[in-house]
């Protein structure tokens, strides 16, 4: 039986009191807390190993370079990429998607080509594609979901054709919690010659990811969602594609030779890493990946599933409770509204009780439009959360209901 208490000691922030109440942190989909080992890695990186990488011949620079490249290999192993050349460090999911939208778009897309996204995407998997379509005269198409939050795969099939260049889809919705069948979607898209970008921001902390098994052409995620630091993320891309794509940004490190007449570019993955990378962040990300691996992704998934089932059952007993996202395959995200209580009011009251939830549109306004609402309250779970914390949430919601006579 999984015991979250064993791991809570690794997260000193969780033992804080907020307004005199124990903190209940249910905002994990926005960002996860950091274990001591990750914080220590950042600290020792700056105190013992700080030197700019790749160009130096001195001891510290070589050690920092080795650590950064070892971190790349850790990421490669964690998502089962074929080669570390396929791992590009970015600032996060958002930058990784912008990179692909620009570089893939410039290299492979022309007027009247089509890109498919879904109605449940985070804005960062919509807007970069809109910008690219505007630039290239391409067309953005949308696959919708039903009222349970399940994607319409038949609609996807009907939208695909020889003009479709890429399907961009979240593996897990940050608002509905839906786990999308990305492997099946990749197979369907590939039948039409389309490439697939998978937004793994919400799947990477919860599900064992294998990019080769999914047959993803691109897979992106942020370190801060998987217990790593902010400011660093990953773009996985198939080597054959990345090789052909033109660079995203110009600058140091991404070049082979610069003259005023012509510049040639560096090999993969450096072609896409202009400027000084976050070489301390990369090692802290590797530490975070080691940490979750030690706990076991299967254990994490199972415990979070238990929490979700418990929360769904408990909270559904509350009068006028409405859940948004009831897919049979669902991650530990619970979006809800209670009667006419505005999500912001609910969030503020829960906050005063020490409970951190997120309120609003969660950067997924099309999801809100689908249901004709402005926003929801979202509780999102991690392996360090407990059933007792869900009981506290339940009591908090009842309290808010009483206050608003709703
Ligand atoms: N995609 C999804 C599904 C997300 O949930 C998020 C963040 O919440 C993002 C993309 C953007 O991630 P970041 O802000 O770390 O770039």
SS3 169: strand
Tokens describing residue 283: 């090692």
Q: Give the H or E element holding residue 234.
A: strand 233-237
pLDDT at 306 over 80: yes
Determine the pLDDT at residue 94.
Answer: 98
- Please tell me the predicted confidence (pLDDT) of residue 405: 85
Per-residue pLDDT, averaged over 247-253, amounts to 95
Residues serving a catalytic function are 363
Q: How far is CA 113 from CA 139, 140, 163, 248, in A?
A: 6, 9, 5, 21
CATH topology classification for 38-293: 3.40.640
Alpha-carbon distance values, 126 to 121, 292, 298, 354, 379 (Å): 7, 30, 31, 34, 24
Q: Pocket residues for ligand 1 (CB within 6 Å)?
A: 92-94, 122, 124-125, 170, 174, 199, 201-202, 222
Secondary structure letter of residue 322 according to DSSP? E
CA of 365 to the centre of ligand 1 (A): 14
Q: Whole-number mean pLDDT of the chain?
A: 97
Question: How many angstroms separate the alpha carbon of residue 177 from the centre of ligand 1?
Answer: 13
Residue nearest atom 5 in ligand 1 by C-alpha distance: 174
Token output for 158: 């009907």
Closest approach atom of ligand 1 to CA 224: 15
Confidence at 363, pLDDT banded by 50, 70, 90: very high
Rounded CA-CA distance 240/55 in Å is 27
Q: Which atom of ligand 1 is nearest to the CA of 363?
A: 8
5-30+296-403 CATH pick, 3.30.70.1380, 3.90.1150.10, 3.40.50.720, 3.60.15.10: 3.90.1150.10
On the 0-12 / 13-18 / 19+ scale of CB atoms within 10 A, 189 is buried
What's residue 336's pLDDT?
Answer: 98
Torsion, Cα of 199, 202, 208, 213 (10° steps): -20
Helix, strand, coil shares of the chain, percent, nearest 5, are: 45, 20, 35
Provide the residue ranges of all domains of the chain, joining segments of one domain with +: 5-30+296-403, 38-293
Cα 317 to averaged position of ligand 1 atoms, centre (Å): 31
Cβ neighbours for 159, distance < 8 A, ≥ 6 positions apart: 114, 116, 141, 143
C-alpha span between 12 and 252 (Å, rounded): 39
- Give the pLDDT score at 293: 98
Q: How much is the average pLDDT of 71-84?
A: 98
Q: Which parts of 91-217 are beta strand (E)?
A: 114-118, 139-143, 164-170, 195-199
Whether the predicted pLDDT of 55 surpasses 90:
no
Average pLDDT of the segment spanning 77-97: 98
Q: Phi and psi dihedrals of 269, rounded to 5?
A: -90, 0
Testing ligand 1's pocket by substitution, the residue of 122, 128, 360 carrying the most ligand atoms inside 8 A of its CB is 122
Residue where the block lists tokens 């801060």: 224
């Amino acid at each position: 039986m999984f015991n979250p208490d064993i791991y809570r000691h690794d997260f000193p922030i969780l033992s804080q009191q907020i307004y005199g109440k124990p903190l209940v942190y249910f905002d994990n989909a926005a960002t996860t807390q950091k274990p001591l080992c990750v914080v220590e890695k950042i600290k020792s990186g700056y105190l013992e190993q700080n030197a700019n990488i790749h160009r130096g011949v001195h001891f510290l620079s070589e050690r920092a370079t080795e650590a950064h490249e070892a971190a790349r290999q850790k990421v490669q192993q964690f998502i089962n990429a074929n080669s570390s050349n396929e791992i590009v460090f970015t600032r996060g999911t958002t930058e990784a998607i912008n990179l692909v939208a620009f570089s893939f778009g410039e290299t492979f897309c022309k007027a009247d080509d089509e890109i498919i996204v879904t109605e449940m995407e985070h804005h960062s998997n919509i807007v970069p594609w809109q910008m690219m379509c505007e630039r290239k005269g391409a067309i953005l198409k949308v696959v919708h979901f039903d009222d349970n939050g399940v994607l319409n795969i038949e609609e996807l099939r009907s939208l695909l054709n020889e003009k479709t260049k890429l399907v961009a889809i979240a593996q897990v919705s940050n608002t509905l919690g839906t786990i999308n069948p990305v492997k099946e979607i990749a197979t369907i898209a590939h039948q039409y010659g389309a490439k697939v970008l998978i937004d793994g921001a919400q799947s990477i902390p919860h599900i064992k990811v294998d990019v080769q098994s999914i047959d993803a052409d691109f897979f992106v995620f942020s370190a801060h969602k998987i217990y790593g630091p902010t400011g660093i993320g990953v773009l996985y891309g198939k080597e054959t594609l990345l090789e052909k794509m033109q660079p995203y940004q110009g600058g140091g490190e991404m070049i082979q030779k610069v003259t005023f007449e012509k510049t040639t570019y560096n090999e993969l993955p450096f072609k896409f890493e202009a400027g000084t990378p976050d070489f301390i962040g990369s090692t802290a990300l590797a530490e975070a990946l080691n940490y979750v691996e030690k706990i076991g992704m299967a254990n994490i998934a199972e415990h979070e599933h238990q929490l979700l089932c418990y929360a769904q059952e408990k909270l559904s007993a509350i009068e006028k409770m409405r859940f948004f996202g009831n897919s049979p395959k669902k991650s530990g995200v619970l979006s809800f509204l209670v009667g006419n209580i505005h999500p912001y009011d609910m969030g503020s009251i829960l906050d005063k009780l020490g409970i951190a939830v997120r309120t609003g549109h969660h950067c997924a306004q099309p999801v809100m439009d689908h249901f004709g609402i402005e926003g929801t309250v979202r509780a999102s779970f991690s392996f360090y959360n407990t059933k007792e914390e869900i009981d506290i949430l339940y009591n908090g919601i009842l309290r808010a209901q009483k206050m608003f006579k709703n």
